[in-house]
Structure 1
Amino acid sequence: MGEISSFQLGVIGALFLSVASSVSIVICNKALMSNLGFPFATTLTSWHLMVTYCTLHVAHRLNLFESKPIDTKTVVLFGMLNGISIGFLNLSLGFNSVGFYQMTKLAIIPFTVMLETIFLKKQFSSKIRLSLFLLLVGVGIASITDLQLNFLGTVLSLLAIITTCVGQILTNTIQKRLSVSSTQLLYQSAPFQAAILFVSGPFLDQCLTKKNVFAYKYSPVVLAFIILSCLISVSVNFSTFLVIGKTSPVTYQVLGHLKTCLVLGFGYTLLHDPFTERNLIGILIAIGGMGLYSYFCTQETKKKQGDLTLGSQIKDKETAALLAGVLQDKENHEVKKSNKDSLV
């Protein structure tokens, strides 16, 4: 029971850290890009990953965690895949309307469910599927405003969905199969993610913004927000791997849509963004779907734990009965031997 409670506390802590850090970095980046005119999202992400790796390297040197070697090919391919997925998501946002980009993010959950069902043989109950449907409908109502389709944008969105889903499934699978922690996996893969974005980031940003990141005039305020964004990103990247490792890719996506609702709420409250009854209704439906998802997941987890406990008790009883039988046979044998000796 103690191990279960500590695990549940760890999950709650990871979820809280992920929500708090993600909402914080969204608000920070929105101020940086919208108010201060720094539009280079992909390059900024490469800086995030480099700062994350440097921070983890310092933590490792201070013996705050133990590095565990992972197969080089696995780490390189995994890091490159995650870097490519970030690039495709940014390209999807650049070549599509905001509404279609939101549809792309919503499509990640059903696509992840489909991949896990087909390739990992994972089962999702009808209650879980219903709660996910309500969540997607709510977020769609709250965040999707326009849907403008174009061929290039659609292809980029499809590639973004595929690479993101596969990357998040691998994040969970690698941690479990290789028995590595989220910190160890992030420490090993962050350099490769940073490298691919550091090389491709300026080119992608120039394609999307028609501006050169190296020609940008960095004011002290912009530099301060960039540093703040990089520091928050350490927590974001760490909590992402932590949540996916402790729960599942689907739960992480559900959490991501909770962040969307919170960002919409913070935008209305703090930044006075436009807010309508449609936004409110959508957020309420989404929160209801999240609540049902959490409740059903908790019930299924308790049922599995109960089944495991029952199975363990049955196994213990069978073992005890077997031992009792062995002891009884031994006693009978000793009695027979004693009787035989007394006759002699």
Structure 2
Amino acid sequence: MGLLFSLLRLDSRRFIKRKDSDAGEAGRVLEELRGSLYNELRTSEGAKRQQQRYCGPFVAMSFNFMVAVGIILGNKLVMGKVGFNYPIFLTLIHYASAWILLAFFKAFSLLPVSPPSKTTPFSSLFALGAVMAFASGLANTSLKHNSVGFYQMAKIAVTPTIVVAEFILFRKTISFSKVLALAVVSLGVAVATVTDLEFNFFGACVAVAWIFPSAINKILWSRLQQQGNWTALSLMWKTTPVTVFFLVVLMPWLDPPGVMSFKWDVNNASAILVSALLGFLLQWSGALALGATSATSHVVLGQFKTCVILLGGYLLFGSDPGFVSICGAVIALGGMTVYTSLSLKKSSDKATNLLPKENLASSKPKNEKDKEEQSIAEDKSSVV
């Protein structure tokens, strides 16, 4: 019996030791994985790879679409029920809150590393921050002074502006089939919103002035992320201070007086803070979408949002925008479908064209190795 007890005790010790060894091995693997992920985020190239891996075009554009619908409701609450009719100051609150959140991420080492300063000149970051202030501030001012229909009509003009600007600045062209699809989209949105064209002279001037900075803003956001190693959050961290500065400059010119006399109670302040949080998410999701797709695709997404809201109100809430508006929304959605399919086909063609080159590069060392083995075999046979 003593011998049996000793053998059982020895087996139990071996089992516990093996379990401890397995636990230690799993802990080491987990620690190595954590360390590699940390090192991956400590470089701008690694952070960009992580963003591309976990936030592809579908995820980024879906995220941006959901946040855009949410901020429409939030801004309606702030400017309607709360009565905060200061669009530039509201935009300033959005970007100032975003800056505070980014500083919080920076303090806790949660902000991705920016590329070296020599890779991107400061003039590019300064220009992006400036046009972002004009694009966001003038957009909210146009929405305040014009109807939603006229605002959407002005947004249609952003699409050809982007195409022309990218051709002039970077010699970038798009296919004739994509041009036709974009024309169908613009025509459909115009027909869908033609029944709501109320504007005044000042609002029309603001809408026209907003078109160019909006197009340049989307082009720069997309190009800096795709051509450099910038992530959305790191680019926001660098450009938001410039945006805040220009919004402060724009406030006295475009906002009505009396912002200090606004009733700042708990309910009103809470609604404005919720709008600010949604503004940060909108800026982040928009930057992710521009980095994953293109400036033109981001504009098409905005027009898709308009059509979905119009058709959703008709199907779910019984609103009656009119037969003409519904037909225009359906036409626009058809054009968007064609444009999306053409973009996906172009991406797949690029991948297919790159595949034979990669196979050729991978097969070349193997062929050279086979030649070496054959020559060695011939040498051996000659020796024999």
Superposition TM-score tier, normalisation by shorter sequence: 0.7 to 0.9
Q: RCO greater where, 1 or 2, for CA within 8 Å and sep 6 or more?
A: 1
- Is residue 26 of structure 1 aligned with residue 76 of structure 2? no
Greater Cα offset, 261-270 or 40-49: 261-270
Deviations 1:37-62 (A, max 9, x none): 22211211111111111112212222
Partner of 1:85: 135
Do the aligned partners of residues 67 and 173 (structure 1) sit closer, same or farther apart at CA in structure 2, a change above 3 Å counting? Answer: same
In structure 2, what is the Cα distance between the partners aligned to 1:135 and 1:44? 31
Partner of 1:235: 281
Partner of 2:163: 113
Greater Cα offset, 74-83 or 273-282: 273-282
TM-score, normalised relative to structure 1: 0.83
Partner of 1:276: 322
Give the drift of 1:195: 2.3
Do the aligned partners of residues 78 and 307 (structure 1) sit closer, same or farther apart at CA in structure 2, a change above 3 Å counting? Answer: same
- Is residue 134 of structure 1 aligned with residue 184 of structure 2? yes
Greater Cα offset, 260-269 or 114-123: 260-269
Give the drift of 1:20: 0.6
What letter corresponds to residue 204 of structure 1 in structure 2?
L
Partner of 2:153: 103
CA RMSD of aligned residues (A): 3.1
User: What does residue range 229-308 of structure 1 map to in structure 2 within 5 Å?
Assistant: 229-265=275-311, 275-308=321-354
What secondary structure does 1:122 align onto? Answer: coil
Correspondence for 2:123 among 43, 53, 73: 73
In structure 1, what is the Cα distance between the partners aligned to 2:302 and 2:105? 27
What secondary structure does 2:321 align onto? Answer: coil
Do the aligned partners of residues 266 and 27 (structure 1) sit closer, same or farther apart at CA in structure 2, a change above 3 Å counting? Answer: farther
What secondary structure does 1:38 align onto? Answer: coil
Give the drift of 1:89: 3.1
Identity, % of aligned pairs? 27
Do the aligned partners of residues 45 and 271 (structure 1) sit closer, same or farther apart at CA in structure 2, a change above 3 Å counting? Answer: farther
Do the aligned partners of residues 234 and 282 (structure 1) sit closer, same or farther apart at CA in structure 2, a change above 3 Å counting? Answer: same
Do the aligned partners of residues 146 and 54 (structure 1) sit closer, same or farther apart at CA in structure 2, a change above 3 Å counting? Answer: same
Partner of 2:18: none
Do the aligned partners of residues 20 and 66 (structure 1) sit closer, same or farther apart at CA in structure 2, a change above 3 Å counting? Answer: same
In structure 1, what is the Cα distance between the partners aligned to 2:254 and 2:363? 64
Gaps of 5+ in 2: 1-48
- Is residue 221 of structure 1 aligned with residue 221 of structure 2? no
Give the drift of 1:264: 2.9
- Is residue 13 of structure 1 aligned with residue 59 of structure 2? yes
In structure 2, what is the Cα distance between the partners aligned to 1:78 and 1:288? 33
Query: Would the aligned equivalents of 2:145 and 2:199 in 1 still touch at CA under 8 Å?
Result: no
What letter corresponds to residue 301 of structure 1 in structure 2?
S
Greater Cα offset, 108-117 or 80-89: 80-89
In structure 2, what is the Cα distance between the partners aligned to 1:235 and 1:59? 14
Query: Would the aligned equivalents of 1:202 and 1:212 in 2 still touch at CA under 8 Å?
Result: no
Give the drift of 1:91: 4.6
In structure 2, what is the Cα distance between the partners aligned to 1:275 and 1:331? 82
Larger Cα-atom Rg: 2
Gaps of 5+ in 1: none
Do the aligned partners of residues 265 and 122 (structure 1) sit closer, same or farther apart at CA in structure 2, a change above 3 Å counting? Answer: same
Deviations 1:210-235 (A, max 9, x none): x5222222343322211111111121
Do the aligned partners of residues 27 and 91 (structure 1) sit closer, same or farther apart at CA in structure 2, a change above 3 Å counting? Answer: closer
Partner of 2:237: 187
Correspondence for 2:91 among 45, 68, 75: 45
